[in-house]
A and B are shown apart, each in its own frame.
Chain A
Amino acid sequence: MAVFGWRWTRGRGAKQASLFLCGLSAVVIAFLGRAEASIFDSARAKISDWTQPALGQVRTPFMAVERWFENAGSIFTLYRENMQLRQENAELRKWQNVALSLESKMRRYESLLKAVPDPKLPSVTARVIGEVSRPFAKTMILNAGLRQQVQKGQAVIDDRGLLGRIYVSGERTSWVILLTDLNSRVPVVIESSHRRAILTGDNTPAPKLELDVGDAPVKAGDRVLSTGDGGLLPPDIPVGVVIQEGTDLRVSLFARPGTTDFVNVMSYGIPEPPPAADPVPANSGVVVAGAKETVSPATIADGLTPRPTSVGSTMPLQSKNPAEPRFDGQNEEQDR
């Protein structure tokens, strides 16, 4: 098969036609994969389900060796690191006191306002059994799937912040599309200005921040959180901090996929509207959605809180940094 005098192969007839058809098929599959990803995704899920036991076994010793090499270099800087950590710890203790005082104040205000607390999200703790870092894909494989109620679209976080979301869920395994992946688009909000943005992965370690309409200033160092917009992700999960790269705003992510062994998969949906309440007396002062005046916030929270349905153990979403508040609303429940 000759095109403009150039032949695809040395061979003739059937071989040239076969090569042309194969090339065409590859391109068609690429477009089909974009439009109908489910065909490939289910094949991928089946393969990872099938190889799950082996993946877990193979990864463990390799991770141990990798950690050993990572830590070997730090032996020589132990003293300096220790001093840095002491200094950081002293600083964090100050912040812890501030956080505790603010938390107590917040609880008082919530109680006074009879505010509806955020629903507690059911979550599943899963082990990372594989990572894929390729030019066209940044993904992770987890050892929890549909059997553990891990479903497509759920948010995945490590102990520092948002990692990505589930894009393929098999019976016993699931694949996570990381925030850095070329195809990742996640709605976020800038904490200080409340300006909405889209976090766009481009396979670089710091994804791009595409700001929404509005003129609130965004500067390097601002914290970026997830939003519940569109019911895709739970709100207020720490994502990272804004950094400036030339004219681009990017986000340096808190999560570290390369060093994460366990992650939390959070089930999130737009909360059900509360049952219709009796009319609130005109003189009550504060109108609280769905709450009678006599109903305590804890009872309201119980009604709204989905029960954890995880098969795996649940991991408290406490940051390693003691001064940072938890972001799953567990403090409120426990403190009550």
Chain B
Amino acid sequence: MSSAAADLMELLFNHPARFLASLFPALLAAVLVVVANLPISFTGGLLPPPVLALAAVYFWTLVRPDLMPPVIVLGIGLLEDLLSGGPPGLWAAGFVAAYALTDRERETFAGMIGPGALMSFAAVMLLAGATAYVVACVVYLRLAPLPPLIVESISTVLFYPLVVKCLRWVHVRVVGPMRSGQ
């Protein structure tokens, strides 16, 4: 058994609350994937829904990168592909690219507030969307139309403050106390 697995088992048996707290970021991101992909359209199918899970990936990568490893990001991206009905791997690649940028520029992004924070997330969303678009074009050997992707990206950025507000509450009220054993 590898040391990571042994650590995990130790955490599960000796500190179940901490173990549960460490699952929270991934679970919340999965919930956001499900919510965003509820097959209901308020606009008669005219506007695509936002990619809410990307906001969760971005937030936890900035706040608690230890709880959002790349493999979890890949899993969340695949879940997004699976539930969105689209070709597999596109958003998975987009999420991993977004994760790489967020992790690399963590100090810069974490220091942003207000419109700056929104612009940072917009840059990450742009990279995720561009990666998914390029992979789609390469795999399917044709150009996908850009406007729906742009609309989806804009709506995701607009939803970001709301999602982050909820995630911050969970971080401060739930994950933080559970991790510190309170």
Chain A residues with CB under 8 Å of chain B are 7-11, 15, 18-19, 21-23, 25-34, 40, 43-44, 47, 55, 58-59, 62-63, 66, 70, 129-139, 141, 175, 182-183, 202-204, 257-259
Contacts and interface: CB of A to CB of B under 8 A. Distances in A.
Given A44-B82, A134-B152, A182-B140, 20 more contacts: A8-B100, A9-B100, A10-B106, A15-B70, A18-B70, A22-B96, A26-B74, A26-B77, A29-B78, A30-B88, A31-B89, A31-B139, A34-B139, A62-B42, A130-B38, A133-B41, A135-B152, A136-B132, A141-B39, A203-B144
Nearest to B38: A58
14 contacts: A18-B70, A22-B71, A25-B92, A26-B74, A26-B77, A27-B89, A30-B139, A66-B42, A130-B39, A134-B84, A134-B85, A135-B48, A139-B85, A182-B144
Contact of B87 (A18, A27, A30): A30
B106 A23 contact: no
A62 B144 contact: no
Interface string B145-156: 100110010000
B83 interface: yes
A199 to B, nearest CB: 15
When A and B form their complex, which 5 residue pairs have the shortest distance between CB atoms, in order from nearest?
A130-B39, A30-B89, A137-B86, A33-B88, A29-B89
A32 B89 contact: yes
Contacts, number: 158
B70 A133 contact: no
Contacts of A55: 39
Given A10-B104, A59-B39, A26 B85 contact: no
A26 B69 CA distance: 15
A258 B144 contact: no
Contacts of A27: 89, 93, 135
Interface in B13-53: 37-42, 44-49
Contacts of B125: none
Contacts of B142: 182, 202
Nearest to B65: A11
B97 A135 contact: no
A126 B142 CA distance: 33
Contacts of B10: none
Interface string B67-110: 00111011001100111111111101101110110011010000
B11 interface: no
A74 B96 CA distance: 46
Contact of A8 (B73, B104, B145): B104
A63 B69 CA distance: 38
Contacts of A141: 39, 85
Contacts of B41: 66, 131, 133, 258
A281 B103 CA distance: 84
A25 B74 contact: yes
A177 to B, nearest CB: 9
A209 to B, nearest CB: 16
A21 B73 CA distance: 12
A34 B40 contact: no
B136 interface: yes
A25 B96 CA distance: 10
